[in-house]
Amino acid sequence: MKAGDILICYGRNITSKYIGHAAIASSSKYIMEMPGPGKHATHTPKATFFKRNSGNGKYVAVYRIRKHPHYADDASTYAYKHMYLKTNPSYFFPSSMYVKSPSYCSKYVYLAYEWGATKRALYPIPGPSAVVLPHGLENWFKGDFTPSYVYKVTSY
């Protein structure tokens, strides 16, 4: 795993079965995520994240922006410094796209790339009330910024 990797969870609960859950790696050992209602952004050890989101039919698909690793690193650094340490947003789904707090999982990842890396990487959101869902997050990236599927974590 590398900083900036995009993690998409499947089968976590009834909501994530259809909508999913998304997170961004801050390093090879930690993951930033918006865990859900009543919570704030968290900086979770990789082992904790993968144990919670894999096994018994659950899995995590890992995506990486291969052609622009520096932008992936910039996005993860921005997410950590500005969205986690400085703002630490509360969770609310859906929330206006262009505010840091409240936030939700896939919005958190989208904004990390848009504000921390480059706007060129992403298709623009059609309006402030639009929703970016985890199961399709990779479709918001364009051209050679489109994340590549790297591997699937089925158990940890």
The per-residue pLDDT for range 86-112, each reduced to its tens digit, is: 999 999 988 888 888 999 999 999 999
How many whole angstroms separate alpha carbon 42 and alpha carbon 24? 11
> Residue 92 burial by CB count (10 A; 0-12/13-18/19+): exposed, middle or buried?
middle
The per-residue pLDDT for range 33-86, each reduced to its tens digit, is: 998 899 999 999 999 999 999 999 899 999 999 999 999 999 999 999 999 999
Asked whether residue 73 is domain-assigned, the answer is yes
Q: Which residue has the tokens 């985890």?
A: 134
Torsion of CA 30, 31, 32, 33, to 10 degrees: -150
How many whole angstroms separate alpha carbon 134 and alpha carbon 47? 21
How many whole angstroms separate alpha carbon 18 and alpha carbon 142? 24
Structure tokens at 40: 């704030």
Asked whether residue 84 is domain-assigned, the answer is yes
Asked whether residue 81 is domain-assigned, the answer is yes
Question: What's the total number of domains in the chain?
Answer: 1
CATH number at residue 87: 3.90.1720.10
How many whole angstroms separate alpha carbon 116 and alpha carbon 149? 22
Domain enclosing residue 71, as ranges: 6-153
Asked whether residue 117 is domain-assigned, the answer is yes
Asked whether residue 27 is domain-assigned, the answer is yes
